[in-house]
Amino acid sequence: MFSREVIYDVEIITEISPADQKLTRLTQQLITRRSRHAEISASKKTIDVASQINTEWSVNAQKQLYTGDVPENLALIVLVYRNSLEEIDDACRLISGYINQPTELIRETQYAWSIWLDTLLIKQKPQLTSPYNRRTTFFTSEIIGLTPVIQNMKADEKGFELIADEAHSPV
C-alpha cells in the first residue's frame, strides 16, 4: 500500500502489546448490558438497529475471549517527513486516500512532536498512550491481517542492489 513511487520519506511504526483481558471482558459485558437495555426499551417503541448491532458485536467479542483469543493493543504511527507544511498537507491527503473505510488515519497536529519523541524510544513507554490512550484493541486472530501494512518495492533492474540490514531484502 505505501510502497508506491509517489510516497516517500515515510516511516511506519507498529507496536503490538498485550491488552488487559479482564478489562476487555468487563468492557464487553458492560456494552452488552447497555445494548440489551436499549433494545428492551426500544422494543416498546421502535426497533433500535444500532443497539442490536452493538449487542451482536459484543457477544461475538465475548465468545472470542472465552474461547481463548487474546486481546492486543495496536499503535500504528505514520511519520511523514517533508520540507514545508504544504508538502506535508499534500502527502497526508495522498496517504489517507489509500486507506479504505472503515479504517482512517487521523492526522495529529497538537501532539505531533510528542508522538515523534516517543518513537525515538528515549522514553520506555507504550506508543500512543500519552496524553491519552489512542491505541486500538484487536484480537490476535484479527491483528495478523494488519501486520503487512507495508511491503518493500520490487528491486530496481538497473544499477546496484542494496540489502536492508534488518529485513534482508532489496532496498
pLDDT digits over 109-139, tens only?
898 999 999 888 777 788 998 888 899 888 8
Residues 82 and 56 in one domain: no
Residues 60 and 99 in one domain: no
Same domain, 30 and 81: no
Which one has a higher pLDDT value, 67 or 34? 67
Kindly state whether residues 83 and 140 are assigned to the same domain.
Answer: yes
Q: Are residues 98 and 111 in the same domain?
A: yes
Domain count, the chain: 2
The domain boundary, picked from 48, 66, 84, lies at 66
- Spatial distance between the Cα atoms of 28 and 22, rounded to a whole number of angstroms: 10
Is there a domain that residue 4 lies in?
A: no
Q: Which domain holds residue 93?
A: 10-19+70-146
Q: Average pLDDT of 158-171? A: 62
Q: Which pTM does this prediction carry?
A: 0.68
Q: pLDDT category, 4, cuts 50, 70, 90? A: low
Residues 41 and 58 placed together within one structural domain of the fold: yes
Q: What is the mean pLDDT of the chain?
A: 79
Contact 171, 152 (CB under 8 A): yes
Neighbours of 35 (CB within 10 A): 21
88 in the same domain as 62: no
